[in-house]
Structure 1
Amino acid sequence: MSTQLKQQASYEATFFHNFWKQTLSRVPVIPPRTELAGKTVLVTGANVGLGFEAVRNFLRLRPSLVIMGVRSVDKGEAAAAALLREFPDARIEVWELDMESFRSVQAFAARAERELDRLHVAVLNAGLGKLKFERVDEGGCREVTIQVNYLATALLSFLLLPKLRPTTSSPESGRLSIVNSGASLGLSLEDPGDGRLLDSFDRPDKFDGLGQYGLSKLLVMMFVAKLARTINAEEVIVNCTDPGATKGTAFFRDVNSRIMNIALGAFMGLIGRRTEDASRIYLHSSLVLGKESHGSWTDWIIRAWPKTMYTDKGRQMGERLWDETLEELKFAGVKEKLQKDL
């Protein structure tokens, strides 16, 4: 587990380690006997890039159903049609999911509650990066990167837990893997004093696009570590998965700076993995790694947490974040859901 890898944390946060991992290591193949017969799999952000390739990799293992969570149903249907030409016997459903909207997340989870007997694997892949400060237009009107990459992801995680838990007819642990980023590894959270931690991310005067993205991913890792201490791995195994820098994704789709796009293209061309390789990491985290990965930061092996999470301050910030998150999402009854279902 990541909790035992404190000695590796500083090294794994270095550019040298990540450059070596990206350029000189290869994502292993999925063990040949891995299969998903009779299983239901969910991938969000599934119509493009890593999400699309992850769906393709899952389909090779013959699940009974794959759900593609997408913002645009039309684009999702087009992506599903392309996959069905390759896997004509597959069962694929396209469900609308806009991570900028809590209402959409709740509607998506309510549909899962109505229509699914059991959800076996959920990979929460939808995310974004912004170079300019923007707010969502509902609820607390949070900065959009924090809303999508953290708060909406936490909400969806809470709401899917009941369907991920074992049943009499399907007694194995559910799998919840949340896509994260090495951009979080060297970061820490500033103590806002008497103010709320979540409010401290909503300041336009201190906004740094890439820095805000990294902070949103640090929040996710702290959330996963605490969630894993709250739920039993015999019920749901939860971890973070890191595909690393990847070519051909739509991650910076909203970047409209020509210079930035050229720089990002050159960087990805140098160290980026192909999407078909990077997406295989999702399967390692959600299928190959076992209960030992509960609460951990993973790719094809278990890695160290962001180094701040091993400090007293980091642990205090993690507890504060958890409490504020439960308060922020109380409209969806997440605290009661934890108490009732876990």
Structure 2
Amino acid sequence: MSSTAKNQSRPGANQLKHLYQQARNPPKDPQTSYKGKTVLVTGANTGIGYQAAVKFAALGASPLVIAVRTQEKGEATKAAIIRETGNENIIVIPVDLSTFDAVKEFAAKLNEQVHKLDVALLNAGLAMPSFTKGPGGYEIALQVNVLSTALMALLILPKLRETAAANGTPSHLTFTSSKGYQDVEESWLDSSKTLIDQLNTEEGYSDQRHYMMTKLATMFVLQGVMDQHSDNQVIINAACPGFCKTDLGRNFSLVAKVFMGPIQYFVARTAEQGSRSLVSATILGPESIGKLWHDDEVLEPSRLQATERGAELYRETWGQILTILNKHIPPKDV
């Protein structure tokens, strides 16, 4: 049996039952106006990111900034959103989260093209069937889901804070995460490695565990940014869309896709339903800071986070992320 086959995730009966119920009880569809607000959505050309962008546009976002890998994909996405909503105030800024340089270039263009930023939804992400190094030398899901996302958050935070000060009301920074991070167990962690080093090591790779551990690292990014900017000028939180019919597994084998197809058909939410949580997370108040929004509820930290080991893991992980990003961030933004 191949390593990819070994890695394929097979939900148990209880989990399938839970997903079935979840799919039939989607979160509320947000109706709050975003008129006059500048909204950024990364990973906006597909899946829940696209559906979130459509919702923001329909609710009046002006302008809506969509960040996708290429200008061509961005223009196609822009045209589709205009067709669906009639909102033509859309700016396309390409970004490839597989490299730090592309993130820095994106942040510079964003700063040039918009004079304020009310909402940022950092949604772009990857799930990989096997260990794959990216062009920056890091495992690609670690690079995209954690390191580049952390860099983008730190680079756009000054604009969010400036906007909050000018408006007299908080701006919002929301990360797309997964409730699955709460299933990470201490026994999964290699005591001889940091979390970042473990995520960047091929030995013992498991697609499902790796994905959930990148989401734990994302929650540590959220906590780190929050701890450094704790004056509530920016509401910093995360949102879980639930199990949805998307192309997140586009890099998996045909066998894996055939296996998961019927499961998605019967027990997954639509991308539109999942996107509701992403959009509604950006209207929450201080009660959501540092926490995960899922199914119209603010969740408490995971069992691991609440332990001394979890606190130690956070300090170690965030410290290493800052060390990696240090040369890419102006001192005033750290």
Residue type at the aligned position of 1:252: G
Give the C-alpha shift of residue 218 in structure 1. Answer: 0.7
Q: Counterpart of 1:30?
A: 30
The yes-or-no answer on 1:250 pairing with 2:247 is yes
Q: Can you list the C-alpha shifts for 1:88-133, whole angstroms capped at 9, x where unaligned?
A: 3430111111111111111001112222211110111110111111
The yes-or-no answer on 1:273 pairing with 2:269 is yes
Would you say how many aligned residue pairs link Structure 1 and Structure 2?
318
Query: Unaligned regions of 5+ residues in structure 1, if any?
Result: 1-13
Which residue, 253, 257, 262 being the options, matches 1:261?
257
Q: Counterpart of 2:40?
A: 42
Structure 1 distance, partners of 2:329, 2:83, is 41
Structure 2 distance, partners of 1:165, 1:21, is 39
Kept after mapping to 1: 8 A contact 2:126/2:144: yes
Structure 1 distance, partners of 2:331, 2:166, is 27
Kept after mapping to 2: 8 A contact 1:326/1:334: no
Structure 1 distance, partners of 2:256, 2:20, is 24
SS at match of 1:229: helix
Q: Counterpart of 1:171?
A: 168
Structure 1 distance, partners of 2:175, 2:330, is 18
Structure 1 distance, partners of 2:332, 2:204, is 35
Kept after mapping to 2: 8 A contact 1:166/1:173: no
SS at match of 1:218: helix
SS at match of 2:145: helix
Structure 1 distance, partners of 2:231, 2:23, is 33
RMSD: 2.0
Structure 1 distance, partners of 2:179, 2:193, is 28
Describe the shift of the 1:210–1:193 C-alpha distance in structure 2 as closer, same or farther (beyond 3 A): closer
Structure 1 distance, partners of 2:280, 2:18, is 19
The yes-or-no answer on 1:294 pairing with 2:289 is yes
SS at match of 1:310: coil
SS at match of 1:205: coil
Structure 1 distance, partners of 2:46, 2:270, is 13
Query: Unaligned regions of 5+ residues in structure 2, if any?
Result: 1-13
Describe the shift of the 1:309–1:94 C-alpha distance in structure 2 as closer, same or farther (beyond 3 A): same
Alignment of 1:173-322 (within 5 A): 173-188=170-185, 192-193=190-191, 195-232=193-230, 234-247=232-245, 249-255=246-252, 257-287=253-283, 289-299=284-294, 300-322=296-318
Q: Counterpart of 2:63?
A: 65
Kept after mapping to 2: 8 A contact 1:45/1:125: yes
Q: Can you list the C-alpha shifts for 1:271-290, whole angstroms capped at 9, x where unaligned?
A: 21111111111111012x21
SS at match of 2:305: helix
Structure 2 distance, partners of 1:93, 1:62, is 14
Residue type at the aligned position of 2:196: L
Q: Counterpart of 2:7?
A: none
SS at match of 2:219: helix
Structure 2 distance, partners of 1:295, 1:302, is 10
Residue type at the aligned position of 2:170: S
Kept after mapping to 2: 8 A contact 1:43/1:51: yes
Structure 1 range deviating more: 160-169 or 172-181: 160-169
Structure 2 length as normaliser, TM-score? 0.89
SS at match of 2:235: strand
Residue type at the aligned position of 1:203: T
Structure 1 distance, partners of 2:150, 2:129, is 23
Q: Counterpart of 1:156?
A: 152
Residue type at the aligned position of 2:22: Q
Q: Can you list the C-alpha shifts for 1:36-90, whole angstroms capped at 9, x where unaligned?
A: 1211000001011111111111112112100110002212211211221233343
Give the C-alpha shift of residue 262 in structure 1. Answer: 1.5
Structure 1 distance, partners of 2:221, 2:310, is 12
Structure 1 distance, partners of 2:20, 2:235, is 29
Structure 1 length as normaliser, TM-score? 0.87
Kept after mapping to 1: 8 A contact 2:155/2:329: no
Structure 1 distance, partners of 2:247, 2:103, is 21
SS at match of 2:237: strand
Residue type at the aligned position of 2:73: K
Structure 2 distance, partners of 1:221, 1:90, is 34
Q: Can you list the C-alpha shifts for 1:214-263, whole angstroms capped at 9, x where unaligned?
A: 1100111122123222213531111110001111x1211111x2221022
Give the C-alpha shift of residue 21 in structure 1. Answer: 5.8
Give the C-alpha shift of residue 164 in structure 1. Answer: 0.6
Give % identity. 29
Give the C-alpha shift of residue 20 in structure 1. Answer: 6.7
Describe the shift of the 1:193–1:104 C-alpha distance in structure 2 as closer, same or farther (beyond 3 A): same
SS at match of 2:310: helix
Structure 1 distance, partners of 2:331, 2:215, is 22
Structure 1 distance, partners of 2:225, 2:17, is 28
Give the C-alpha shift of residue 183 in structure 1. Answer: 2.3
Q: Counterpart of 2:125?
A: 127
Q: Counterpart of 1:4?
A: none
